[in-house]
Amino acid sequence: MSNNVASWGSFIKSIASYSGDLASMTAPPFILSPVSLTEYPQFWAEHPDIFVAIAEEADPEKRILLVTKWFITTLRGQYASRNEQLGSEKKPLNPFLGEIFMGKYQPAAGTPTRDIGETILVSEQVSHHPPITAYSIFNDKAGIELQGFSGFKASFSAASIGVKQVGHALVYIKEYDEHYLITLPVLHIEGILSFAPYVELEGHSFIQSTSGYSADLSYSGKGYFSGKKNSFKATISKSAIKQEGKPLYSIKGQWTGTSMVKNEATGKEELFYDSKSTPQYTFSVKPLEEQHEYESRKAWLKVSEAIKLGDYDLISKEKSKIENAQRDLRKAEEAGKPWQSRFFVACDPRVNNGDKYVELSTSLGNKPNSCTNGAPSQQNWRFVREKYDKGEIKA
């Protein structure tokens, strides 16, 4: 541990004097995770049954409630799972350009579940500087699709790291030809001085639907409105823009615990979501020998093993191999064709990101999934389903 403490100290110092790319920063081995950031989109559908239930609901007012509930179910995995399972937040592997992670959600063995068909995840690193991961999760049986992209910008203060997320997520429901735009909350990392970093959410995020309904979510941690960590409040309203007057529903609780929903018209209150209710699904990827060399777990295998051994020299050695191969690829591309995403296209951003309201109908047009107008842009990515269907690499 004394070694760790020493390297943690210099790590903290390097954070304080930091100017550059957090993802590529060197951290002491005990804080390194053997998991790449391309894997993180899997948290978007840890509960595929709750995800597909959105498309099965005929009433748009209930659908916005279901979208909000599903969104809340994704937070624990995204932001608290490292802390809960490993004792602290961990620094993920910084994905290389073109890295892929894909798989399927399966009912856990022995759990009686209804047949919801296949839910598939396709995730790809579409940019290395800055790091951006694009993803899609779809279930054809239910006719529902999620797509989005994710990057982040970090800032530093004495005792914490602030992280502003870049990107957004879009849900599409085929039967109702309906879109939901989801913005991502700001987060910060606490516990740095006590060697146990963990994530807390702050500020607002929004869900806005072409049906006209919207949700306004706000987050706080210990010492704020509820005094409990991982707290949130949400209001659901019928208007798309800034919510005025009384909301239809209000929700409050902890995204790592339970939350309650109140019908503002009747005053009736009931359980909204209990995150500790047994997870029924597991995420599964193909066996390593069937994976493409760009698939995350295969590509990072040796680095991951070195991290698990805590062998710093081996970690650097194996990481360098990947980095050098990438450098050679980029060099070769300078002369010829630039690298192109396998499953996504860069396109003109028509969505404002950040914690502000976005008029979905005007900013996205009628076809948020089409990517026809505007020049390619690194700031917005769209999933191209045909590229997956016609491609060789399958989940």
Q: What is the nearest approach in angstroms of ligand 0T9 to the Cβ of residue 167?
A: 8
Instruction: Show Cβ contacts of residue 116 under 8 Å, excluding neighbours closer than 6 positions.
Output: 48, 49, 52, 139, 141, 142
Which of 73, 243 has the CB closer to ligand 0T9?
73
CA dist 211 and 306 (Å) reads: 50
Which of 79, 180 has the CB closer to ligand 0T9?
79
Q: What is the nearest approach in angstroms of ligand 0T9 to the Cβ of residue 264?
A: 31
Q: What is the nearest approach in angstroms of ligand 0T9 to the Cβ of residue 293?
A: 24
Which of 31, 358 has the CB closer to ligand 0T9?
31
Q: What is the nearest approach in angstroms of ligand 0T9 to the Cβ of residue 198?
A: 9
Which of 74, 243 has the CB closer to ligand 0T9?
74
Which of 143, 191 has the CB closer to ligand 0T9?
191
Q: State the residues that interact with ligand 0T9 by CB under 6 A.
A: 22-23, 27, 31, 37, 40, 78-79, 89-92, 150, 152, 161, 163, 165, 189, 192, 197, 199
Please identify the residue of the shown chain whose CB is closest to the bound ligand 0T9: 91
Q: What is the nearest approach in angstroms of ligand 0T9 to the Cβ of residue 234?
A: 19
For the chain, the distance separating the N- and C-terminal CA atoms, rounded to the nearest angstrom, is 40
Which of 31, 144 has the CB closer to ligand 0T9?
31
Give the residue among 120, 70, 94 at the shortest CA–CA distance from 343.
120
Q: What is the nearest approach in angstroms of ligand 0T9 to the Cβ of residue 78?
A: 4
